Amino acid sequence: AGSIGLLTGSRKGYFSLTINERDKNNKHWWINALMAILHLHTMPLFIITRTIFDNPFMSYKEMKYKLEHQLLIAPVYFILTDGQSSGVIITRNRLNSINPIELNSTLVQTNYDHWLDDPINDLRRTTAENILRTFNITQMTIDNIFNIALSVIPVLNRNTVYTAIMNPAKNQEIFAKIRTLK
């Protein structure tokens, strides 16, 4: 089964939102299918993002609440920012939010829960965080973030599908690229 929908997007001067897979070694994939079939007040991810992008009057706080509380078909990470001073990674299971983390200076989200150490065989998050900590505010450009922090091994690996860097501030910057490691 598949779907067509929006998993990453930005609204100029307002917010950006992206969804990342929450890899839980999905031994219970059949529960995802059952939740989708029976509905049980669950909502597919692309429908959630559409309702958020379709509502120009929804505040950042309302978006965050919806992402934290809407019943889902599958576990996921939501990464949301207002492009100003607010940003959050919302770690979700099907029923609720688990330990969201608010923006400090930077947030890096890979496919692992932020409160756990990186797996020994996947140091993407720690590597990216260490590189970004060396940047000052003037060095936080799309080119530097992409070329210096997000294009080094192990941050870029054979499982990287795409990279998106979005700043929804007034001068909205968006960069996205499908990735392959040769």
The mean pLDDT value for 47-52 works out to 88
Is there a contact between 132 and 145 (Cβ–Cβ < 8 Å)? Answer: yes
The first and second tokens of residue 10, run together, are 């930005």
Distances (CA, A) of 13 to 77, 154, 173: 23, 33, 10
The first and second tokens of residue 28, run together, are 């219970």
The helix/strand/coil state of 104 is: coil
CA dihedral 5, 79, 152, 176 (to 10 degrees): 40
Cβ count within 10 A of residue 70: 20
Which run of H or E residues covers position 91?
Answer: strand 87-92
Tens-place pLDDT, residues 53-99: 899 899 999 999 999 999 988 889 999 998 888 899 999 988 899 99
Is there a contact between 72 and 42 (Cβ–Cβ < 8 Å)? Answer: yes
Rounded to whole angstroms, the Cα distance separating 101 from 92 reads: 12
Is there a contact between 143 and 133 (Cβ–Cβ < 8 Å)? Answer: no
Q: What is the pTM of this model?
A: 0.87
Would the pLDDT of 158 be above 60? yes
Would the pLDDT of 144 be above 90? yes
